[in-house]
Amino acid sequence: MTTIRVAHLYPDYLNIYADRGNMAVLRRRAEWRGHELEITGLGMADSIVAGAHDLFYIGGGQDREQLLVAADLSSKAEPLIAAVEEGCALLAVCGGYQLLGRRYRGFHGEEMPGVGLLPLETVAGEGRLIGNVLLECEVEPGLRRTLAGFENHAGRTLLDPRARPLGRVVCGYGNDGESGWEGCRLKGAVGTYLHGPLLPRNPWLADWLLARALAHRSGGEPTALEPLLDELEAGAHAVSAGRAQAGGGAAAVRRWPRRARPAGS
């Protein structure tokens, strides 16, 4: 049995939209394979210690909560960036995703410093981008998968020209409602606007993160995990994807044309 050490950043602040469910999925899928998840909440007074964790998780929050944690999180940028460079996995959702860029400017002009891990910036727009989302992703060369979830954000996230998006928007708005891209990833780090929570209906992404966390723990290379019986998860994914394709949700769903992959992806 391997103990996967997880750092949940600011669980008392960044915890909306049932995103805590992502942690439950990671725990259970690790346990089903004979491993253990050791989750530690890291708040304002806590440091990120080199080598102490294998996976980091940052949930979503509204502008008020983001403003409360932004300066503290940016002060921990160096060890967090180093951890990802050393092979740690990381999942950041919505508000957490925005704060992993260089900066986030809120609706009222609040300037929030970012970690600078992901090559992007975010500025709040006039209206919210709300609805069901379906993405096409290729996190492993030649292996295309889909991600389904729900987005609700005012932020317009702009990726740098050579940034690697998480996926191409099939249905929904994505990062900014215009580019046709959603999320961003760098090494084992993933940032996304998809709520729901995300992992119960997309178990392949949970396993992708766990494989990288296990590799970091062992000092080896990520390898495919033993498959699980995911009939319920596949059903949840199908329902969510169907809603996106049917235009379900609080806003009209856009369908984006297939676009060229950005340089460096």
Catalytic residue numbers, as ranges: 94, 195
Quick check: helix, strand or coil at residue 152?
strand
Angle subtended at Cα 3 by Cα 57 and Cα 35, rounded to the nearest 5 degrees? 100
Q: Is the dihedral of CA 243, 245, 248, 253 positive or negative?
A: positive
CA 60 to chain centre: 10
The β-bridge partners of 257 are none
| Residue located via tokens 């317009």 | 156
CA distance 67 to 210: 30
- Those residues with Cβ within 8 angstroms of residue 108's Cβ, 6 or more apart along the chain or in another chain: 63
Place of tokens 């600078």: 116
Q: How many CB atoms lie within 10 A of CB 261?
A: 12
